[in-house]
Amino acid sequence: MRSQFSGDALVHEAERLGPIHVTTGFEAGAIEVAGVGDGGDIRVSLAADPISGDVQWFFFRVSGIAGRTARIVVENSGRVSRLEGREQVPDCWTGYRPFRSRDGQDWVRCDALYEDGTLTIPVPPGADTLWFAYYPPFPMARHTAMLGRALANPRARLEVLGQTPDGHDLELLRIGTPERGKPKVWLMGRQHPSETMAGYFIEGLLGRLLDPADALGRHLAETCDLFVIPTVNPDGCRRGHTRTNARGMNLNRAWADPDPERAPEVVLIRDRMRAEGVDFCLDAHGDEELPYVFLGGPLEIPSRTARLSGLFETYARAMERACPAYRLADPYPGGAPATADLRMAWNWVAEEFDCLSVLLEMPFKDTHRQPDPEMGWSPARCAAFGWATLEAIAAVAGSLR
């Protein structure tokens, strides 16, 4: 999809070099074009989610830049909102490096400068076409391929919970056989579409869980009843939203009392959870500001118990042993709230089912533990963390009830 001087594409005519195109006409594409200056500045703005107005995610292609000295200038970067209790934490752009690709498939980090509410990304010489993204996209074709690999294992089967507002299937991967006494383990990702690291995390987790040569994966697939929802918000993922679904609803603020019209995805998942039961739940997300992986547990819910606190500590200690990128010393930011927000999935699930429910947050930037100066917290590291997470699940699986 392209148009001249409007919408998701802009054409800047230059007698010698020809037009520059800025395009978002593909899955998850998102940016608004303000103009192209004579000096080569390509001025854009982050696109706001409908109703909520959330801004953060961007994914676009620039072509016609060969032979030019150009910069991407994101003019409304300063509009990004912050969570409470983070006044002492650097904002999302400080220390952040975007991703760039020559083919839309293989991604590298690139430099950027954030000053006075504007993010500037230099365009390197030599290429005529480049893709830019806040984090490497995890397209629905990759989601489908991941499910296809899983379904090659006879222990896995696919269920469709229902349809989203845009008419897409809400897919649940069921692993294992239901038997009395088996722990019910739920794993979810991508309530927030922009947090694509959750897709790579579940891809790594499923890769180990269903690898017949991996003893731990095979053990968990045999002894647990697993429910995996890799993409809770397929509409938002396809549309290129930051945090909301097709109806403008932040699904991770809908769990206490979901509106069937605005958050049908949450209604469908809650109904299925109530029909099956939950003994453990993990909800995977990404955090834009903090340079570390952190976990949240059921520590502030109204019915909190010493049993749940002990289970969370066991889980977190096992995760610490399994992956050096995570440390208990990197806590939930701002300290624990007095009471849990039951609109959030991990809190609602813990309270509803009296179970261990864990929030996982992975960084968009890098980890200050074992940093990678070249790629930061990359899709490969997300997948490796998913692979290692089976160690922590195994540490608590026998004592969840």
* CA distances from residue 34 to 9, 85, 114 in whole angstroms, order as listed: 10, 34, 18
pLDDT digits (tens, 9 = 90+) for 237-295: 999 999 999 999 999 999 999 999 999 999 999 999 999 999 999 999 999 999 999 99
Provide the token pair at 96: 């952040």
Q: How many other C-beta atoms can be found within 10 angstroms of the C-beta atom of residue 24? A: 23
Q: Is 320 a catalytic residue?
A: no
pLDDT digits (tens, 9 = 90+) for 324-358: 999 998 877 766 678 899 999 999 999 999 999 99
Q: 3.40.50.1370, 2.60.40.10, 3.40.630.10, 3.30.200.20: which CATH number matches 140-397?
A: 3.40.630.10
Residue that wins the pLDDT comparison between 182 and 19: 182
Whole-number Å distance between alpha carbons of 180 and 356: 19
pLDDT for position 252: 98
- What is residue 35's three-state secondary structure? strand
pLDDT digits (tens, 9 = 90+) for 69-109: 889 999 999 888 877 777 778 899 999 999 999 999 999 99
Question: Please, which pLDDT band fits residue 8 given cuts at 50, 70 and 90?
Answer: very low
pLDDT for position 9: 43
Q: How many other C-beta atoms can be found within 10 angstroms of the C-beta atom of residue 376? A: 20
pTM here is 0.94
Provide the token pair at 355: 């179970």
Run of H or E residues at 36: strand 32-36
Buried b (16+ CB within 10 A) or exposed e, 180-217: eebbbbbbbbbbbbbbbbbbbbbbbbbbbbbeeebeeb
CB 79 within 8 A of CB 116: no
| Residue from 32, 195, 288, 361 carrying the catalytic annotation | 361
Edge-to-edge strand ranges of the sheet holding 280-287: 156-163, 169-175, 225-229, 184-189, 280-287, 356-363, 294-296
Whole-number Å distance between alpha carbons of 279 and 318: 18
Question: Please, which pLDDT band fits residue 14 given cuts at 50, 70 and 90?
Answer: very low
Question: Please, which pLDDT band fits residue 16 given cuts at 50, 70 and 90?
Answer: low
* Fold agreement (11-133, 140-397): no
pLDDT for position 393: 98
Fold adopted by 11-133: Immunoglobulin-like (2.60.40)
> In the chain, what are the domain boundaries?
11-133, 140-397
